[in-house]
Structure 1
Amino acid sequence: MSRELAGHIEETRLAEALSERYIAYAMSTIMSRSLPDVRDGLKPVHRRLLYAMQQLRLDPTSGFKKCARVVGDVIGKFHPHGDTAVYDTLVRLAQEFAVRYPLVEGQGNFGSIDGDGAAAMRYTEARLTTVATALLDGLEDDAVDFQPTYDNQDEEPVVLPGAFPNLLANGAAGIAVGMATSIPPHNAGEICRAARHLVDNPQASTAALLDFMRGPDFPTGGIIVEDRESIENAYETGRGSFRIRARWAVEQGRFGTWIIVVTEIPYQVQKSRLIEQIAELMEQKKLPLLADVRDESTTDIRLVLEPRSKGCEPEVLMELLFRSTALESKFSLNMNVLDRDRVPSVMGLRSVLQAWLDHRHEVLVRRSTHRLAAVERRLEILDGFLAVFLNLDEVIRIIRESDEPKPALMEAFALTDIQAEAVLNMRLRSLRRLEEIEIRRERDKLMTEKDALTALLGSERRRWTRIGKELDETEKKFGEGALGKRRTDIAPPPRMVDISSAFETEREPLTVLLSREGWVRAIRGHGLDLDAQKFKEGDAPQLAAECQSVDRLILFTGGGRAFTLKAADLPRGRGFGQPVRVLADLPPDDTVIVMFPLVADGKRLLVTSGGKGMVVRESDLVAEKRTGKQVLNVREGDDAAFCIPANGTHILILGDNRRAVIFPVEQVPEMTRGMGVTLQKYAQGGVRDVRAFNLDEGLEWPVGAKLRSPADLAGWLGKRADAGKAAPMWMTRKRVDSSQPPEK
């Protein structure tokens, strides 16, 4: 057969061959490397490492063994990969600053939060922690299935029994092909309380579960600054992010001086790299309020930040650092895991907890069934002992005289094969201890256990009650003391801090011009003649805003996004300026419809061309990133048409159908983001114009025209979402060109 195949060439299209091999690689990466199992929260390398350490009897009460020995067993028996990858995994499971509940107890140098690496595996030693033994508890009781190892020489568990909620407690991170996972660590005691609530209330909502499990609990502490709504939405969908800030405090010195001391930094931020980042920004003069940074850490973190002047506010200095450095970071939530059928899926909090509880239920059934079988075997043997107890002399005679004592014993005393084998295997010195009282005491105890196991296996309610008790025990064991105490606080989003005082910018009046071709520049002074300004050939002024050099400008686009520019950063001089798309990442098909200086307590009325609108605070339009902030969600075929000051008591909206309606501004909800509500109904067409004004003062329409009194406007008073009434001629005149005078 081999001679016939020698030299055989089979033609295959390159695309098909690549596709087949890439799919195989992708599946291997997803199933066997990157995604954790929802039941025990482990990837194969973690599971094999813990199992190998258990086989080496490295329990918490035993001595340590060299990590080189552990790694050798793992790669030799279970995990045919490089020793570096396995050792790196072992090291991480032992680092208290990387893992919320370490699964490995290390002895030696296992690295530091500064980013220092661990010592070589020949110098370090390790053993399992109590948390790891809880994950492994039940392997000997047929709690889970086993599968052959890669060389078919041994067996390994498909999944661990998982009495500890490892997936949520320690989190997970991994990048596969076309998908990734990112799960933050949580507090084990809170997880157990949430799971217990889910056992008692199977239909519990995510919001109810979050009353028990408040959010991530990172090993390095810190403060999560997110509102309840965003946290709930993240756990409901399985996707989101959490903003983490360092923990800091002010220490007062002599003569009114003070320093800021940082005692906790965000998760997965290297302290040494953080200090380097701060030092680099100081050298680049981007932290004008900071004079010095010192690392006074020992076993605990202590970063000292010294201000340049005692007159500045600590909150302003820290806000500047939060915006510029890793003292504030984001941790993504993407609960992409393998379910019990080994299918990857993104799960919400409730699904993850239910999957773990279902696994614990299956483990309980299998362990109880295994124990019941063992009890029944022992009872069978004890019944055999009782059968021969009063006839020991006859038993001895049969054994001495019979060539085949086993069949003879079975016939003489009506014993089963197992009972006869047990009698024959009994040592002679055990005969003196074979007392009927002791045998009956053990038999009665086992019968009681058998009845309890039978009742447990026959009642699902009893099994879930048992699981609830196990959760209480786990919470008591791992949710108390120094290990179980919550380390990360959760606080609402902080108020916006104005850091403009941190930068020494000379205050002067500016007029910012934005041309139709998208070029922006700042010109000194107010009250400029726009027609006298020079633009590129074919270009013309579109928008203008009068402001101060210390102001921030809001650019609002037809796509409903808001962008923020600092007036001091805009190009000046005699040139044409700079493309606005260089300063802000505007989408290619989006255009700026309005530009105005930020007023801290100001409000804006946002209206789409289709007649939907909402009121938003100008502070909520501020975007810290170049990519801007999506504020008004617009449907396909619709766009943002107006962004006007929401000053006044009433709103007048005029449609393309020449119908108008006036209603109180209170009927328009104030939102931070959304699609808005219907302001005026249209059979066809959309909004032509909209104004906000004080009804008592009347309305000047258009600018410079006759002032219309409240009596003139009374006929169009109505409610929001009305179709309106036919507008008068003075209201339907063509509006003045949108390149209106600068907005102040």
Structure 2
Amino acid sequence: MEPDSSSTIDTPFEAALSERYLVYALSTITARSLPDVRDGLKPVHRRLLWAMRLLRLDPAGAYKKSARVVGDVIGKYHPHGDASVYDAMVRLAQSFALRYPLVDGQGNFGNIDGDNAAAYRYTEAKLTPIAMQLMAGLDEGTVEFRPTYNGEEEEPEVFPGLFPNLLANGASGIAVGMATSIPPHNVAELIDAATHLIDNPHAETRDLMDFVSGPDFPTGGVVVDSRQAITHAYETGRGSFRLRATVTQEKEKGGGWHLLVSEVPYGVQKGKLIEQIADLIANKKLPILADVRDESAEDIRIVLEPRSRTVEPELLLESLYRLTDLELRFPLNLNVLDANRTPGVMSLKQCLTAWLAFQIDVMLNRSRTRVAKIDDRLELLDGFLIAFLNLDRVIEIIRTEDEPKAVMIAEFSLTDRQAEAILNMRLRSLRKLEEMEISRERTALAKEREELVKLIESPARQRTRLKKDLSTVRDKFGDDRRTRIEEGPATRAEIDWSRMIEKEPITVILSQRGWIRAMKGHVGLDDAETLKFREGDGLARIFHAQTTDKLLLVGENGRVYTLGGDKLPGGRGFGEPVRLSIDLPADVEIADLFVVRPAMKLLAASTDGRGFVTSGEAVLAETRKGKQLMNLRADAKLATLRIVPEEADAVAVVGENRKLLVFNLAELPEMGRGAGVQLQRYRQGGLADLKPIRFADGLSWSMGGETGRVRTEADLTAWKGIRGASGRMAPLGFPRSNRFS
């Protein structure tokens, strides 16, 4: 049997996929992820509060199980998972997540440590006064209602209450192709700004910054951006804020001190923050920090102990800001749905203007609904007064006529509703006192109607009434700011990481096979014979240094590598291969190793007699790969990299042919990298050694042997020449190794 193809639509796959994905994207944007500018709520939050209101979970009432609330929400209004609905409810109850919580939770609703809330069968909840304020007016015809997803119930499209929830509590969400991130603010500041905007509708966002100084997070903290940067973020609706924890320095007896963290940045879990700091200590990434302790009870209290009292508090604090979540960037993306449910990024002024316009609409809708109800009531009261004025006739008609309603309508010009109300009156109401009460009620209603009509027809009265209502809300819910605004530097200060290293003397030992170690203290260099090495290995370099020093390792391939004195393996045993710390190829020999400082001058030379002057700053390279210093010709190697003394004014070069040349140091160029210039010319062989010297002091070299005699050639005039010359044979007694030392 062939399948029925009558319902099959032939359409390109790309078009079908595009159409369906667009529907999904619009649903995600408008019905899930972005808040409404009018009440600042997403559909799940709005449905949660609406369901709790119908369950009569008023602030003055009793709590009910959260499971009951979640069941009503997913069964009647929000056909999604119970876990997601309960998570949204939990967030509405967390005082560290919302600046002004909308749900009053009883039980375990999580904590700032990052612990999850208990299951919804264990917790209970009811509404807060702010939530009731947000829903005030739902029964007064202020907003439209729409059918629920199954058509069995109705739900409000938006909440009408006079509370700036969008900016007061903020929002975050990720839709398809767009996202939103709105920090919480202080409601008193928002109302002050809104009041100013009512009086000055042409005011700009920068004018509103006199009232709204910045975000106000429930967990406090410090925003360290400049006023200019904060204003620019609110003008464009996009930006970010540098948020820091509140940290103070507390002094101890005996001159010691510690840092106390009393407020953490918004969204940072205290437990994970402490783990983050503890990892820095364990991995020795912050050696000037000794310990972290959590002494929190109801208030946050994290104690940070420095390594010693000599540690600079500013350095430790700046390092913690750099390496941990004690400082973070909170994004601002004021992407919301407007009154037409169209997404867009708004400025602070646009947000407040849209909210105020909505509140004017709510006021007018409420007034018109009230006027209609007053008109209905006045119609009935007018009928009652007619009945009291003609009471005997009315009673006679009721007693004698078969159709009293029609007779009364014809005789007294009553409406159908008036006649029906008169017929339904109780006998006990037929008294003089009742007539007086009806007259008083009618007078009061007529006066109220007159005021409402004036309000509806006068924009000035509407603005005055709105300012008065805003003032009432401010007095009721306004509180002090929690987050401080302190202008800080536009960019982070550079940290001298070497200052974090405790300065200690060490003796650096490098073996011939490239094993390196650092012994504590300055060991006597004459005791090198007592050092132990692996079989077949021996001493190559030994010198004194400090843990704060940088060591420069020179490879024969022309690359230089930087080692930290504090990072060297300990002096016990044979140390470790230096190639574990740097990417030095196994077939490349080590030319030299010494302490380097940025200010020093260095003289590099290759085996083919080329060289140049460079600086200590130019050769420093903190990466494993190091940096290329000298570009070598084929078959050439980097022969040496010598420190140039400040008093040096000449260079002595000796070749493998034992010819010595002395020339002025000024003839060499200073370069950061290159092949260099010719130092000495050779017919055979290459460069053996070189040494920067002071020409007037002559040239000295060791005679060798146990006596330690040194010979000095005071007059070097015979060997003085220009750079690139061949030179002449070295003086008598010059070492056979053709090396100066």
Q: TM-score normalized by structure 2?
A: 0.70
Residues 309-388 of structure 1: pairs in structure 2 closer than 5 A: 309-388=308-387
**Displacement of 1:306 after TM fit?**
1.1
AA paired with 2:145? F
Cα distance 1:365–1:519, how it changes in 2: closer, same or farther (>3 A)? farther
Which residue of 1 is the match for residue 12 of structure 2? 13
**Displacement of 1:405 after TM fit?**
2.3
Report whether the alignment pairs 1:201 with 2:196: no
Aligned equivalents of 1:26 and 1:416: distance in 2?
54
* Offset from partner CA, 1:299-327 (integer Å, 9 cap, x none): 11111111110111222111111100011
Which residue of 2 is the match for residue 158 of structure 1? 157
Residues 41-56 of structure 1: pairs in structure 2 closer than 5 A: 41-56=40-55
Aligned equivalents of 1:233 and 1:415: distance in 2?
65
Does structure 1 retain, via aligned residues, the 8 Å contact 2:47–2:77?
yes
Residues 521-670 of structure 1: pairs in structure 2 closer than 5 A: 524=596, 526-529=600-603, 532=606, 546-547=616-617, 567=620, 569-571=622-624, 576=628
CA RMSD of aligned residues (A): 2.8
Which residue of 1 is the match for residue 488 of structure 2? 493
Task: Give the paired residue count.
Answer: 545
Does structure 2 retain, via aligned residues, the 8 Å contact 1:512–1:547?
no
**Displacement of 1:34 after TM fit?**
0.3
AA paired with 2:114? G
Which sections of structure 1, spanning at least 5 residues, go unmatched?
535-539, 550-566, 579-744
Does structure 1 retain, via aligned residues, the 8 Å contact 2:601–2:615?
no
Aligned equivalents of 2:328 and 2:36: distance in 1?
27
Cα distance 1:545–1:444, how it changes in 2: closer, same or farther (>3 A)? farther
Does structure 2 retain, via aligned residues, the 8 Å contact 1:263–1:302?
yes
AA paired with 2:500? A
Aligned equivalents of 2:614 and 2:306: distance in 1?
38
Aligned equivalents of 1:9 and 1:326: distance in 2?
56
AA paired with 1:373? A
**Secondary structure at the residue paired with 2:431?**
helix
Larger radius of gyration: 2
Aligned equivalents of 1:533 and 1:75: distance in 2?
81
* Offset from partner CA, 1:24-54 (integer Å, 9 cap, x none): 1111100100000011100011111111111
**Secondary structure at the residue paired with 2:241?**
strand
Does structure 2 retain, via aligned residues, the 8 Å contact 1:509–1:548?
no
**Displacement of 1:416 after TM fit?**
1.4
Which residue of 2 is the match for residue 110 of structure 1? 109
**Displacement of 1:502 after TM fit?**
1.5
**Secondary structure at the residue paired with 1:63?**
coil
Which residue of 2 is the match for residue 503 of structure 1? 501
**Secondary structure at the residue paired with 2:254?**
helix
**Secondary structure at the residue paired with 1:268?**
coil
Aligned equivalents of 1:343 and 1:409: distance in 2?
55
AA paired with 1:474? V
**Displacement of 1:10 after TM fit?**
3.4
Which residue of 2 is the match for residue 677 of structure 1? none
Cα distance 1:19–1:542, how it changes in 2: closer, same or farther (>3 A)? farther
Does structure 2 retain, via aligned residues, the 8 Å contact 1:266–1:327?
yes
Aligned equivalents of 2:189 and 2:612: distance in 1?
56
Which residue of 1 is the match for residue 90 of structure 2? 91
**Secondary structure at the residue paired with 2:411?**
helix
AA paired with 2:602? L
Aligned equivalents of 1:302 and 1:185: distance in 2?
23
AA paired with 2:102? L
Cα distance 1:509–1:155, how it changes in 2: closer, same or farther (>3 A)? closer
**Secondary structure at the residue paired with 1:53?**
helix
AA paired with 1:492? E
**Secondary structure at the residue paired with 1:254?**
coil
Which residue of 1 is the match for residue 471 of structure 2? 472
Aligned equivalents of 1:11 and 1:86: distance in 2?
39
Aligned equivalents of 2:186 and 2:138: distance in 1?
25
**Secondary structure at the residue paired with 2:344?**
strand
Aligned equivalents of 2:409 and 2:67: distance in 1?
54
AA paired with 1:370? T
Aligned equivalents of 1:205 and 1:149: distance in 2?
40
Q: TM-score normalized by structure 1?
A: 0.69
Which residue of 2 is the match for residue 218 of structure 1? 217
Which residue of 1 is the match for residue 265 of structure 2? 266
Does structure 2 retain, via aligned residues, the 8 Å contact 1:316–1:497?
no
Does structure 1 retain, via aligned residues, the 8 Å contact 2:261–2:303?
yes
Aligned equivalents of 2:145 and 2:20: distance in 1?
28
AA paired with 2:501? F
Does structure 1 retain, via aligned residues, the 8 Å contact 2:602–2:614?
no
**Displacement of 1:408 after TM fit?**
1.9
Aligned equivalents of 2:614 and 2:143: distance in 1?
70
**Secondary structure at the residue paired with 1:46?**
helix
Aligned equivalents of 1:541 and 1:405: distance in 2?
125
Aligned equivalents of 2:336 and 2:171: distance in 1?
9
**Worse overlay, 32-41 or 243-252:** 243-252
**Secondary structure at the residue paired with 1:255?**
coil
AA paired with 2:481? R
**Secondary structure at the residue paired with 1:345?**
strand
Which residue of 2 is the match for residue 68 of structure 1? 67
Cα distance 1:543–1:444, how it changes in 2: closer, same or farther (>3 A)? farther
AA paired with 1:343? T
**Displacement of 1:497 after TM fit?**
7.1
**Displacement of 1:541 after TM fit?**
12
Aligned equivalents of 1:20 and 1:34: distance in 2?
20
Aligned equivalents of 1:195 and 1:209: distance in 2?
8
**Displacement of 1:376 after TM fit?**
1.3
**Secondary structure at the residue paired with 1:167?**
helix
Cα distance 1:531–1:360, how it changes in 2: closer, same or farther (>3 A)? farther
AA paired with 1:488? T
Report whether the alignment pairs 1:121 with 2:120: yes
Which residue of 2 is the match for residue 33 of structure 1? 32
Aligned equivalents of 2:432 and 2:212: distance in 1?
55
Aligned equivalents of 1:576 and 1:324: distance in 2?
30
Does structure 1 retain, via aligned residues, the 8 Å contact 2:93–2:105?
yes
**Displacement of 1:499 after TM fit?**
4.5
Cα distance 1:22–1:373, how it changes in 2: closer, same or farther (>3 A)? same
Identity between Structure 1 and Structure 2 (%) = 56
Which residue of 1 is the match for residue 410 of structure 2? 411
Aligned equivalents of 2:7 and 2:64: distance in 1?
52
* Offset from partner CA, 1:527-561 (integer Å, 9 cap, x none): 33467599xxxxx9999754399xxxxxxxxxxxx
* Offset from partner CA, 1:276-320 (integer Å, 9 cap, x none): 111111111011111111111111111111111011122211111
**Displacement of 1:570 after TM fit?**
4.2
Cα distance 1:130–1:303, how it changes in 2: closer, same or farther (>3 A)? same
Report whether the alignment pairs 1:240 with 2:239: yes
**Displacement of 1:435 after TM fit?**
2.8
**Displacement of 1:116 after TM fit?**
0.9
Cα distance 1:358–1:405, how it changes in 2: closer, same or farther (>3 A)? same
Aligned equivalents of 1:287 and 1:429: distance in 2?
88
Does structure 1 retain, via aligned residues, the 8 Å contact 2:602–2:615?
no
**Displacement of 1:258 after TM fit?**
1.5
**Displacement of 1:383 after TM fit?**
1.1
